[in-house]
Amino acid sequence: MLRTSWEYDGNGKIYSRNAEYWRQIQDYPHLENWKNTKAKVLVQFGESDFQAFSRADHQQIVNTVNYFNPGNATLMTYPSTDHFFAKSGTMQEAYNKFANGQIQQLFDEYNHEVGKSAVKWSNEIISKKDEVKLPEKGWKKLNTERYPGKQDDITFINENDGWYVNGYGSIYHTKNGGETWEKQLEKKGTFFRCIAFVDSLRGFAGTVGTDYFPNVTDTIPLYGTTDGGKTWTPVSYSGPYVKGLCAIDIVKEQYINHGKTDYKIHIYAVGRVGSPANMMVSHDGGFTWTSNSMNKECKMLFDIKMFDKNNGIVCAASDEDVEKSNALILKTSDGGKTWKKVYQSNRPFETTWKASFPTEKIGYVTIQSYNPDPTVKQQRIAKTTDGGNSWNEITLVEDATARQFGIGFIDENHGFAGTINCGYETKDGGLTWKTINLGMACNKIRIYRVANGKIYGYAIGVDVMKGEF
């Protein structure tokens, strides 16, 4: 008769468990339970175990768990070890000891490696469980419509809503942080160069204008939208004619409006590459605009960074002829009415391009070199530590082909620069740089911070990239 447990009767016979036990085993939903378990599973098997099922059955448990939850199950086997995890020799020797009633000897011969390996496995599981698994950081390429050249600007108003533009006269919008994009506009003959939004509805897109790039016929420098980009109309302005724009910056000035915090919106737009140099300004959120010529101070304008409604800098060039041009940075303290030179390179074939100020005092500006001499290899960046009043040059890379474009810093030390070939990253304020994938010709890098401390960014050139830091 079958017993309720494994037993030895003293007469050389070993009895198995009873039929009810085996029926319960048979009816138990093993597969469903192994399939659904989220726990880590350790399966241990003594190779001399004659009472349990085979090694293959133990392996099947591991295979089942790992099929549904890869990596969750582990099999450990122990040579010369029996059902009691005693070092009993071969399976026949283990059987003989059990059949002869040598039960105490089985405990005396316990294989301590079984316990040690189980403890080690458990500790590793616990330590991994306590680890905080951080999401992947760095830049990744977004899925966007293919464009054959450098695209120029991208902007976001929050983590989800953003827009970018390119030279096909196209404006794209995303509602999910760049995962998917909708083309809102395609205007033939228009070369969109820059874009900025005040809020989810009100935005502005600047064009580079005619007589610089081929097949560009649009002479309107600025378009506006009040419905989130669904429709765009030309922006009227008073003042000198503006040939084209390359950058837009928005300043939100906080004030108390009838006892509540409110903001006055100041918008500044400058351009262009190839001359002439002009500036457009709105102090009422873009409802009215005025323009000013800056041709006396410089001949080309590429970027603007305003710290408040009065103080800021522009990235410029000293001459419309690149062969004679120096890189130039100008500073204003009266909202752009007057400007003073705070930096000028001493080499021909140079312009500035884009600026990034991670703090009020620390700022960086890319310097472009168009020198046709292949022996002139050094690429440089201008850096300020006093809010733009004075500038020094730091080196990026010795590569005559690495013309610079965009720049963006997370803090005063950690930042990125785009060149026609690739991207560069520094973590020591520009003392050293390493190459990274920012796509080719990364023209604009924007870094954003949210209240919970999250930092993310977008970079645009031939590709559109998203970064999390």
Under the banding of pLDDT at 50, 70 and 90, the label for residue 43 is: confident
Residue 134 has pLDDT above 70, yes or no: no
pLDDT score of 62: 72
Higher pLDDT, 103 or 215: 215
pLDDT score of 37: 79
Share of the chain above pLDDT 70, in %: 87
Residue 2 has pLDDT above 50, yes or no: no
Under the banding of pLDDT at 50, 70 and 90, the label for residue 384 is: very high
DSSP assignment letter at 47: T
DSSP assignment letter at 327: E
Under the banding of pLDDT at 50, 70 and 90, the label for residue 105 is: low
pLDDT score of 88: 75
Give the mean pLDDT of the chain. Answer: 89
pLDDT for 16-39, tens place per residue? 555 555 556 566 666 667 767 778
Mean pLDDT of 322-350: 98
pLDDT score of 55: 76
pLDDT score of 53: 61
pLDDT score of 202: 98
Mean pLDDT of 253-277: 95
Rounded to two decimals, the pTM is 0.72
Rounded to 5°, the CA angle 209-212-213 comes to 90
pLDDT for 158-179, tens place per residue? 999 999 999 999 999 999 999 9
Mean pLDDT of 358-363: 98
Which residue has 């009993």 as its token pair? 88
Structure tokens at 68: 């549904």
pLDDT for 200-256, tens place per residue? 999 999 999 999 999 999 999 999 999 999 999 999 999 999 999 999 999 999 999
Rounded to 5°, the CA angle 454-457-462 comes to 160
CA R_g for the chain: 35
Residue 337 has pLDDT above 60, yes or no: yes
HSE at residue 247, side-chain half, CA atoms within 13 A, is: 24
pLDDT score of 334: 98
Residue 190 has pLDDT above 90, yes or no: yes
pLDDT score of 35: 67
- How far apart CA 429 and CA 413 sit, in angstroms, is 4
Under the banding of pLDDT at 50, 70 and 90, the label for residue 452 is: confident
pLDDT score of 451: 84
DSSP assignment letter at 27: H
- How far apart CA 329 and CA 351 sit, in angstroms, is 9
Mean pLDDT of 71-79: 83
Q: Are 244 and 222 in contact, with CB atoms under 8 Å apart?
A: no
Residue 3 has pLDDT above 50, yes or no: no
pLDDT score of 248: 99
